[in-house]
Amino acid sequence: MGDYMAIWPVALFIVVILGLMTGYPVAFVLAGVALIFAALGSLFGVMDDSFIMLLPNRLYGIMTNPTLMAVPLFVLMGILLEKSKLAESLLTALSSVFGRFRSGMAIAVILVGMLLAASTGIVGATVVTLGLLALPSMRQQGYDMKLATGTIAATGTLGQIIPPSIALVLLGDILSSTYQQVQLNLGNFSPKTVSVGDLFAGAIIPGLLLVGAYLAYVMFRGRGLSPQQHEVQTESDIPVASIRQIIWALLPPLALMLVVLGSILTGFATPTEAAGVGAIGAAILALCRGNMGLNTWRACAVETTLVTSMVFLILFGASLFSAVFYGLGGEQMVHDAISYVPGGVIGATVMIMLLIFLLGFILDFIEITFVVVPIVAPVLLMMGLDPIWLGIMIAVNLQTSFLTPPFGFALFYLRGVVPDNVATTDIYRGVIPFIVIQVMLMIAMAVWPELATWLPEQIYG
């Protein structure tokens, strides 16, 4: 690509970044800048007019995409479970079970966070909910603030990797279309597909390993907690009422999540159909709990509409951006740039993962999924990387980015709900061990890709 042609995609990317730094809404920055560059590219003859003619078709394809219809349903499911105070009852119930351990409250936070991640998939909602509910109790029990805040922030980011995750739904849709196009470009006219169910299955083992590592760490740290503040209980110390409370708090949401995830993995239902079942099931659970008034139901509908509108507006803007970026020769420019990276496929993968990690400081996973992944994924897939492995690595990478000081999104969410006398440095220092755990998981997945690919192969062949 000539130097003059290479200027256009680079300029497009730089102007978008500058526009995002102004604080203007992401969707409008992406769409507005893309349309301006499309007009300029057509005017100066550096972009084929056919790309502009295809833009309406791209937007129509998004609106009629059945996979993406799972997004508002999963969002509604998560919000209903959150507004019905499921997290509060789960935290209370599990705290009574694990109160016999010195790190029992931290264990309960991780387990509740795992269930919330599987139900909401929204990092901010989980971090804020756990911060408001768990941190006061952990302070009363004498927890070190670094351990308490680090556990809450790290647990909140599990929504990126624990299925059914909205992030995996969006990644699955992008990687599926990208993988099919790459195979067509390579001459395979019967291309294989990558489904959302593949990514769900691929995320189960890494997700469980991550939760297990979190639990091992807090139990190890729990040895240093004051035994006077964490008296060891025997099984008989737990009252019968508490056991009933545990069953009522734990079994219904757990059964709902198993039905949703199991129906997808077994092929009994598509992600959209399973999301519909999950939303209806969450509504039934909320009705049975009897603690939601008409205003709360209305708030659930409004919040679901707002989140869904945000996702699809960003998707529209990102789709326009990627189309114009390709039209200006950006895909070839990225391919040429990566071809000069030393180390072949390993060097290219490390460089792109580092780029995604850094972009995670300033962009949410939705923007990265729809803006960055369509640009860099084709190059890596053409080098022979497994799309399921790549999707899980991107999800864990973004999860780590959202937790890393000083710009991690999870840290900002937690800082907004903790008391003023909790130092920001305690939050930063508290998440470092969890960041190390996540990096170790990424290294393990790089060494043993089967951690992400074995289960999908066993289920789907």
* Tokens encoding 441: 């998981």
Q: List Cβ neighbours of 98 (8 Å cut-off, separation of 6 or more).
A: 104, 105, 107, 108
Per-residue confidence (pLDDT) for residue 233, from 0 to 100: 41
pLDDT-above-70 percentage for the chain: 90
Closest CA to 18 of 1, 35, 33, 37: 33
Question: Which pLDDT score is estimated for 204?
Answer: 92
Average pLDDT, the chain: 82
Kindly compute the dihedral angle of the four CA atoms of residues 136, 138, 139, 141, in this order, to the nearest 10 degrees. Answer: 130
Please tell me which of 242-246, 277-281, 328-332, 420-424 the model is most confident about, judged by mean pLDDT.
277-281
Averaged over 398-413, what is the pLDDT?
A: 83
Span 136-172, pLDDT tens digits: 888 877 788 899 999 999 998 888 888 877 888 888 8
pLDDT at 445: 95
In 269-411 the beta strands, taken as DSSP E runs, fall at none
Confidence (pLDDT) at 25: 82
Residues 373-387, mean pLDDT to the nearest whole number: 87
- Confidence band (pLDDT; 50, 70, 90) for 231? very low
If one compares 1 and 274, the residue with the highest pLDDT of the two is 274
The pLDDT assigned to 173 comes to 84
Q: Is the pLDDT of residue 257 over 70?
A: yes
Q: Pick the most confident of 242-256, 377-391, 414-428.
A: 377-391
pLDDT digits (tens, 9 = 90+) for 261-304: 888 888 888 888 888 988 898 888 888 877 788 888 999 899 88
pTM beyond 0.75 = yes
What is the C-alpha to C-alpha distance for residues 378 and 160, in angstroms, rounded to an integer?
A: 22
- pLDDT tier for residue 223 given thresholds of 50, 70 and 90: low
Let me know: does 402 contact 362? Beta carbons within 8 Å: no
Number of domains in the chain: 1
pLDDT tier for residue 234 given thresholds of 50, 70 and 90: very low
Query: What single DSSP character describes residue 383?
Result: T
- Residues 87 and 133: beta-carbon distance below 8 Å: yes
**Residue pair 199/434 in contact by the 8 Å Cβ criterion:** no
Which positions ≥6 away from 357 have C-beta within 8 Å? 397, 398, 400, 401, 404
> What is the dihedral sign for C-alpha 8, 11, 17, 20?
negative
- Return the percentage of the chain with pLDDT > 90, whole number: 15
pLDDT value at position 235? 41
Handedness of CA 118, 253, 113, 455 (dihedral sign): negative
Helix (H, G, I), strand (E, B) or coil at 420: coil
Its sign, for the CA torsion 187, 193, 199, 205, is negative
343: three-class secondary structure by DSSP: coil
User: What per-residue confidence (pLDDT) applies to 190?
Assistant: 65
How crowded is the C-beta side of 330, counted as CA atoms within 13 Å?
25
Which residues span the domain enclosing 119? 3-460
Contacts of 370 (CB under 8 A, 6+ apart): 170, 174, 314, 315, 318, 319, 322
Contact 178, 375 (CB under 8 A): no
